[in-house]
A and B are shown apart, each in its own frame.
Chain A
Amino acid sequence: MKLPAFLRLSPEITPYVLLSPFAILFFVFGMFPLVFSLYLAFQSWEPTSGLSAMQFVGFDNFVFSLQDEWFWKSLKNTAWLAVASGVPQHLVAIPLAVFIHTSFKRLRNGVVGAYFLPYITSTVAIAIMFSSLFSTDYGVVNTALHALFGGENIDWLGQPENIKPAIAMIVFWRYLGFNVVLYLAALQTIPKDLYEAATMDGAGRLQQFFYITLPSLKPMIYFGVTLSVIGGLQLFEEPFILTGGRGGSDQSGMTTAIYLYRMAFDFNDFGAASAMSWLLFFLVVILTYLTNQAFKPRNAGG
C-alpha cells in the first residue's frame, strides 16, 4: 500500500512528525504548569484569595526556604529514606533475580508475580494494612520480631526514630518486585556461552557472578538506579499515607515532597511551596547528573 507521493514523508521531517503528538500534548499540558510554578516562586500567594492576590516578592521565597529549619529537615529525611529504601532494593533485587533466573523454571511467573503484587496494591489498602501491621501492641510485625528476637514492642508509628525505618520498609516492599522484574529481564539477554566458557576455565559461581553477571547488568542497573534516585527524592505517597499526611512525630517522616504539599495546601503558602519545589528540582538534576557520570562507560564498547 503506497501512499501518494505528496503524502510521503522525507526522512528529514519524519522525526518532527513522529514527535509532534507528544510535543503538542507536552507543550499544552506540561509547559504551562512549569511556567506557572516558576512564576509563582517569585510571588507571595495565599490561594483562597484568588489569582489576583499574588504579590511580587522577588527572591524572598527562596531566601525563606533556604533558611527554613523544616525545609532542611525534610531534605535530610528525604535523603535518608531515598538511600535506606533504595540501596537495599537493588542489593536484594539483583541476587534475587539471579536466583529466580537460575533456579525457578515452572514457578517463575508465580514467584515473580508474588514479588510484583505490592507494586499493584492501591495506597488506600496499603495505608490501612500497614497501620494495622505496624501496630505497637498487636501488629504482626512486632509479634514476629518478638518471636524471633524477644525484647519490647517497638512503637513504630509513634516514635520519631522508628517512623523512618517503617517507611523505608514499606518502600522496599513496594518496589522490590519492580526491580526484580527489571533485572530478570536483563539477565535473559546475557549469552549462555559466556558462562559455559567461564566454567570450563574453572571459575566458580561467585566469580562468574562478579565478573560476568554484574558487568552485563550495568546498563540495567543504571536505568534502575536512576529511577530509584528520582523516585526516592520525590517520595510522597508512602510516607504520606503512613503518617496521615502530616509527616509524623517531629516531622521525621516528612519528605520534601510532603512538606511542599503541606506548605501549599495546609499552610496556604503557595509561593514558598513553588520556590521549594524548584530548589528540590535542582537538587534532583544534580544528583541525576552525578548518577549519570557514575555509570558512564569509561571506554567505548561498554
Chain B
Amino acid sequence: MGQQQQVRVSGRALWRVRLLVWGIVGLAPFPAAAQQQLTVAAYPAVDKIVEAAIPAWKKLHPHVAIKVVSRQFADHHTAMTTALSTRFYLPDVMALEVGYVGRFAQGGGLEDLVKPPYNIRSVQAQFVPYALAQATARTGAIVAVPTDIGPGTLLVRTDVLAKAGVSEAELTKSWESYVAAGVKIKQGTGAYLMAHARDMKNILIRTGIQPGEGLYFDKDSKVLVTSPRFVRAFELAREVRRNKLDARVSEWSNEWSEGFKRGTLATQLTGAWLAGHLNNWLAPGTAGKWRALQLPEGAFAAYGGTFLAIPRGAPAANKPLAWEFIKLLTLDRELQLQAFKSQDAFPALLSSYDDPFFEQPIAFLGGQAARVQWREATQRIVAVSVHKQDAFAGEVIDTELDKVLDQGKDIPTALADAARLLAKRANR
C-alpha cells in the first residue's frame, strides 16, 4: 500500500514536473540572439563572392543569417529599380555595377554613407581613390562602397607581335603609334589589331576630361561631344577602319572568342579580369602567348567594378548590421584577396596590395607578374562624373561612329548631329 502510494505520488509528481518543464520551455522566450536575417541582392559572380564571405561573417555574428538573392545582371538592376521606385522589399545590401552606381546615386534612394552611423570618411583612405569618387553623388554624398574594380589593360599576343616585328613600346607609346603598329601587324601576319574600332573610341573619349566635366555632358548639362577628344577618337577609329585593322566583331560573340583561339585578334583593350576568362574557357589553348601592358599613351580607365550600397528604404533595424557586412566584405584584407584569387575580382582595398599574390607570375601571360602593373594602374584611374543621360549618349555616339565608319559620314557632321540629339534631352 505504501509502495503504491509512493508510486502514485511520484507518478503525479512526475507529470507535474513534466508539465512545468514543458511550460517553461514552451512559454519562455527564445534567447535574445534570435535569428535575424540580412538580404543581399546580387548577380553572378558577385553572388559567389558574397557567399564565400558567409563563414567569416558567422564567426562575428553567429545569429545573423545572410540570404543571397541572385538574378541575371540586367534583371537584377531592373528589380532594384523597381524596388527603389516603390521603396518596398528592398534588400538590406544591394550590389551595383559601376555603370548603374551613378544613376542610382543621383536618385537619392541610397543611404549617404558619409553621415553617421556609417561615417565612411573615417575609412575612406583605405580604398582606391577613384572608386569611391565614382560612387559620390553631385551633392557630395557617398552612396556605395567599392568591393572590386576592373583596371583597364592592353592584352597582347606576343607570338603575333614577334612575327610582325612589332615591339611592345611601339604599341603603347601613343595612340597613333598603336594604330601604325596595327598596320604592320596586318601586313606581317594578317591578324587584326582589335575587335572593333569602337573599343578604341571608348577609351579615347575618356582621355583629357577636364575637371567639372562628365563623359558626354558637363555639370551644367552642356553637351560636350564636339570637343577635341571626341574628334580625335573618331578620327583614329576611322583610321583603324580604313586600314582594315579591326575585325568588326562584338565582344562575347562566337567570332570574338574564335579570334582569340585562332590568333586573329592581336590585342584587346579590356579589364584585367579577361585574362582569367581567356585562361578558363575562352581560349585556354593560347596560354603563355599573351602579355599585359598598360593602355597606350598613359591612358588609365576602369572596365567594370562592383559596389555595395544600403537602400534608404530598407528596414532600419537591419541597417547597422548591413553596414557591418559591407565593411567585412570591403575592408577585410583576407576576404578581398580571397575574392581576387577565386573570382578574379581585383581588390579595391589598398591594404591588400602588399600581398605577395600580386608578385606571382601568371602562367597565362607567359609568367608575367601583371598584377603589379594593374595595381599601379588603379592609382591613376580618374573618376568620371555621371549624368542621367549617359546611357543614351553612349548609344548615340556609337551610332554616329558606325555611320562614320561604315557609310563614310563626315566627322564634324556626325558629332554635330549627335550634339543636337543630346541637347534635346540633356535636361530631362
Contact A69 to B421, CB < 8 A, known contacts A50-B313, A135-B253, A267-B391: yes
Determine whether A165 belongs to the interface, using a CB cutoff of 8 Å to chain B.
no
Known: A46-B388, A131-B254. A67 touches B424 (CB 8 A): yes
Chain A contributes a number of interface residues (CB within 8 A of B) equal to: 35
Inter-chain contact B74/A269, CB cutoff 8 Å: no
Q: Which B residues between 86 and 107 are near A, CB-CB below 8 angstroms?
A: 86-87, 103-104, 106-107
Contacts of A270 in B (CB 8 A): 85
Tell me, yes or no, whether B174 is within 8 Å of chain A by CB: no
- Whether B255 is near chain A, meaning CB under 8 Å from some CB there, is yes
Q: Is the CB of A136 within 8 A of B109?
A: no
Structural contact, A266 and B391, CB atoms closer than 8 A: yes
- Do the beta carbons of B254 and A138 come within 8 Å of each other? yes
Per DSSP, are chain B's interface residues mostly helix, strand or loop, or mixed?
helix
In the assembled complex, which residues on chain B have CB atoms less than 8 Å from the CB atom of A245?
74
B109 pairs with A51, CB closer than 8 A: no
- Docked Cα-Cα span, A216 to B392, in Å, equals 50
The docked-state distance in angstroms from the alpha carbon of A160 to that of B250 is 14
A246 touches B254 (CB 8 A): no
One digit per residue, 1 when the CB lies within 8 angstroms of any chain B CB and 0 when it does not, for chain A 148-165 equals 000000010111100000
Answer yes or no: A268 CB below 8 A from chain B CBs: yes
A293 on the B face (CB < 8 A): no
User: How many residues on B have C-beta within 8 angstroms of the other chain's C-beta atoms?
Assistant: 37
- A109 close to chain B: CB less than 8 A: no
* Cα(A69)–Cα(B391), bound, Å: 16
Decide yes or no: A136 and B399 within 8 Å by CB, A50-B108, A67-B424 being known contacts.
no
| A50 and B103 contact, CB distance less than 8 A | no
Identify B258's interface contact among A51, A138, A267, CB under 8 A: A138
Whole-angstrom distance between the Cβ of A169 and the nearest chain B Cβ: 19
Indicate if the CB atoms of B78 and A265 lie closer than 8 Å.
yes
List the B side residues contacting A158 at CB < 8 Å. Answer: 248-250
Check if B85 sits within 8 Å of A267, measured CB to CB: no
A269 touches B428 (CB 8 A): yes
Q: Among A50, A64, A137, A138, which residue has its beta carbon within 8 angstroms of that of B84? A: A50
Complex: how many Å from CA A67 to CA B425? 11
Binary per-residue interface labels of chain B (382-420) against chain A in the complex, 1 for a CB within 8 Å, 0 otherwise: 000000110110010011001100100000000000000
- Docked pose: A249 CA to B106 CA in angstroms: 29
Does A251 belong to the interface (CB within 8 Å)? Answer: yes
Q: Which one of B107, B248, B391, B392 lies within 8 Å of A49 (CB-CB)?
A: B107
Residues 335-354 of B at the A interface (beta carbon under 8 Å): none
Give the CA-CA distance A233 to B65 in the complex, in Å: 47
Contact A250 B254 (CB under 8 A): no
CB distance B109 to A50 under 8 Å?
yes
- When chains A and B are docked, how far (Å) is the Cα of A49 from the Cα of B110? 9
Contacts of B226 in A (CB 8 A): none
- Interface membership of A47, Cβ < 8 A: yes
For this complex, 25 residue pairs linking A to B, each with C-beta atoms less than 8 Å apart, are A46-B388, A48-B80, A48-B81, A48-B85, A48-B107, A48-B108, A49-B84, A49-B85, A50-B86, A50-B108, A68-B424, A69-B421, A131-B253, A131-B254, A135-B254, A136-B255, A137-B255, A157-B250, A159-B406, A245-B74, A250-B402, A251-B399, A265-B77, A265-B78, A267-B389
| Chain B residues packing against A (C-beta within 8 Å) | 74, 77-78, 80-82, 84-87, 103-104, 106-109, 248-250, 253-255, 258, 313, 388-389, 391-392, 395, 398-399, 402-403, 406, 421, 424, 428
